[in-house]
Amino acid sequence: MPWNKPVLGILSLMALHASSADACSSCGSGAADPVILNPLEPAKFYLGLNLSEGFQTIDEQGMVRKDYGPDRKTKLELAYAHRLTPHLFVSLDSGLGENRKGSRSQTGLTDATLNLRWTAWLQDVTEPWWPQVQFVLSHRFQTTRSLQDSRELNNLDSFGAGYDETFAGVDVWFGMLPVLFGGSFLYSQPWEEATRSGRLQVGPTQKWIGTVGYKPMEAFKIIGGLVQEKRGGIELDGEPSPVPSDKKSQDLFLTLETLRVEEDNVRFTFSKKAAFGANKNATVFRSYTLAWMRTL
């Protein structure tokens, strides 16, 4: 396929990870689509349970401040992926969240995301230095209340970004070597949204993801990586925020996953947001995700 085919559309955060003995698609991480189809899989169902805690706020000067939002967040995430062609599949995910502060809590739907992945170049077991190249397109729909429209103390009723956002990116993965590795670059453009405070326009995001992995046995993999995210500042009714609002975050993640062919698989991911380096206008927290996947 031509390398210069235009990439149109939309992407959900994307990352790389270890492939199986056969050439396979990247299979998710702490910064990617939750459900991924390997080349011979027609469809897959994903069920994930996530817990996030230890929230702290980093201000525009990089200083850590107390976070006045929820103490703990949990999310039950459902996703489904379906193959359209040998090189293209689509997935949809959403979920139900709970925010808790002390003895108070609120539940609500989370934003839904539609994702497309097109594999332009497959891996080849006879050519270990031949990478997999994927283009990922996705769109996140604003389907729930955000911080901008929160009506509850400590933002307990906020479960989404508050605006639609369109993503596009490319993923390069070397999965046929003893040590698996790769990287991806993602770009997103938020849509303008009307809020109680006025028309909100959030700046675009650039995200770099680097991943390395290892398979200690055929049916098990370990991958880890780092994520650097930069987002432009916000505007309200066409006016830039009087306080610097551009964002910088540097995160870490570690994923353990089984790789049993034609059986159910499980995945555990630990991630730490704003974990290292210089961060700005970001939120520090740790996150644990346990997921179950079934190929249909």
- The predicted pLDDT at position 196 comes to 80
- The 10s digit of each residue's pLDDT in 61-113 is 888 888 888 999 999 999 999 999 999 999 999 999 999 999 999 999 999 99
| DSSP for residue 123 | -
Neighbour-count burial of 177, counting CB atoms closer than 10 A to its CB (0-12 exposed, 13-18 middle, 19+ buried): exposed
The secondary structure of 151-218 as a DSSP string is -SGGGTT--S-SS-EEEEEEEEEE-SSSSEEEEEEEEEEEPPEEETTEEEEEPPEEEEEEEEEEEEET
Comparing 25-29, 243-247, 280-284, 289-293, the range with the smallest average pLDDT is 25-29
Domains parsed from the chain with CATH numbers: 43-295 (2.40.160.40)
- C-alpha 210/C-alpha 225 separation (Å) is 5
- The predicted pLDDT at position 188 comes to 94
- The predicted pLDDT at position 232 comes to 93
- The 10s digit of each residue's pLDDT in 195-217 is 887 898 999 999 999 989 898 98
- The 10s digit of each residue's pLDDT in 214-256 is 989 888 989 999 999 999 998 888 888 888 889 999 999 999 9
- The 10s digit of each residue's pLDDT in 102-150 is 999 999 999 999 999 999 988 877 888 988 898 999 999 988 877 777 7
- C-alpha 291/C-alpha 285 separation (Å) is 20
- C-alpha 240/C-alpha 258 separation (Å) is 47
Q: Which amino acid is present at 169?
A: G
- The 10s digit of each residue's pLDDT in 16-27 is 333 333 333 344
What number of other Cβ atoms are within 10 A of residue 35's Cβ?
A: 25
Asked whether the predicted pLDDT for residue 7 surpasses 50, the reply is no
